[in-house]
């Protein structure tokens, strides 16, 4: 019997961008997942990388009703015509939300947010006071339904600071099922809520109570830096690891095959 050893080449941090790091780390956490309800942007990029590397079996689903999407290029919105090309099926939104999402068929809801709290609730509505905000955001879209009904939710955050990782949200757009269960155990909830958050500094995963705890730090980042830039007292997992850098092949796929036009890579 012969054995083979997979040889990978990792790349120094100076040679990849934050967007590339976030896409690669997110892709790795998607290994073994089957149906992913992905938002536009970095979630779409991460799923595309997973389909071309670790998880070709992933079925990508978009809020517009497209299931099993195989677009010839990266879509720029959920209504991008390219999503229809080669899709396995296209459902009406009532069918998608009423039977697929609320039916419990989504393994991972993959979202972005402007703010997140320690329990995994999200703000995508306003920054500042509701009546007179400093920034008005797109709102929920389907995010609140995705949060409530997916088996688990991943969140990717481009910026990690005390205005994005906050003690108290300026507005709660997508409440965490885990927080709802803690507040009232009789509240009917389906999913686990946010289980994984990938940021520019590291990865948070939820503990048994649903609290987001630091599970991994990226190369060159310290735990103290994460604590200084997080708006709640950060718990650190006993199993804390250092993220493996992107490999040369992961970066080649992103740059040359998936996003050569730099739609989402910055």
Catalytic residues: 63
E strand spans, the chain = 35-38, 59-61, 66-67, 89-90, 108-111, 115-116, 122-123, 126-128, 133-136, 152-156, 194-198, 202-206, 212-217, 236-242
Residues 6 or more apart whose Cβ sits within 8 Å of residue 243: 21, 25, 202, 203, 216, 217, 218, 219
Tokens of 72: 């010839």
8 Å CB contact between 154 and 109: yes
Contact 36, 8 (CB under 8 A): no
CA distances from residue 135 to 13, 16, 114, 132, 162 in whole angstroms, order as listed = 32, 30, 10, 9, 16
CB 130 within 8 Å of CB 168:
no
Strand, coil or helix: 109: strand
């Amino acid at each position: 019997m012969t054995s083979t050893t997979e040889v990978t080449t990792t790349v120094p941090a100076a040679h990849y961008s934050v967007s590339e790091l976030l896409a690669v780390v997110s892709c790795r956490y998607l290994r073994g997942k089957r149906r992913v309800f992905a938002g536009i942007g970095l979630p779409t990029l991460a799923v595309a990388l997973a389909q071309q590397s670790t998880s070709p079996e992933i079925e990508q689903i978009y809020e517009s009703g497209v299931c099993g999407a195989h677009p010839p290029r990266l879509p720029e919105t959920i209504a991008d015509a390219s999503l229809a090309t080669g899709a396995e099926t296209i459902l009406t939104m009532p069918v998608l939300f009423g039977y697929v999402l609320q039916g419990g068929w989504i393994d991972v809801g993959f979202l972005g947010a402007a703010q997140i709290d320690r329990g995994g609730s999200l703000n995508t509505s306003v920054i500042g006071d509701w009546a007179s905000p400093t920034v008005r955001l797109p709102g929920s879209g389907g995010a609140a339904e995705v949060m409530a009904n997916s088996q688990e939710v991943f969140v990717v955050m481009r910026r990690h600071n005390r205005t994005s990782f906050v003690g108290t949200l300026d507005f709660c757009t997508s409440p965490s099922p885990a927080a709802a269960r803690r507040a009232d155990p009789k509240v009917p909830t389906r999913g686990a809520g946010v289980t994984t958050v990938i940021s520019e500094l590291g990865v948070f995963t939820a503990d048994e109570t649903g609290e987001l705890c630091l599970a991994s730090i990226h190369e060159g980042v310290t735990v103290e830096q994460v604590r200084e830039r997080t708006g709640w007292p950060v718990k650190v997992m006993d199993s804390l690891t250092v993220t493996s850098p992107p490999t040369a092949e992961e970066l080649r796929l992103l740059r040359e095959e998936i996003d050569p036009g730099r739609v989402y890579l910055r």
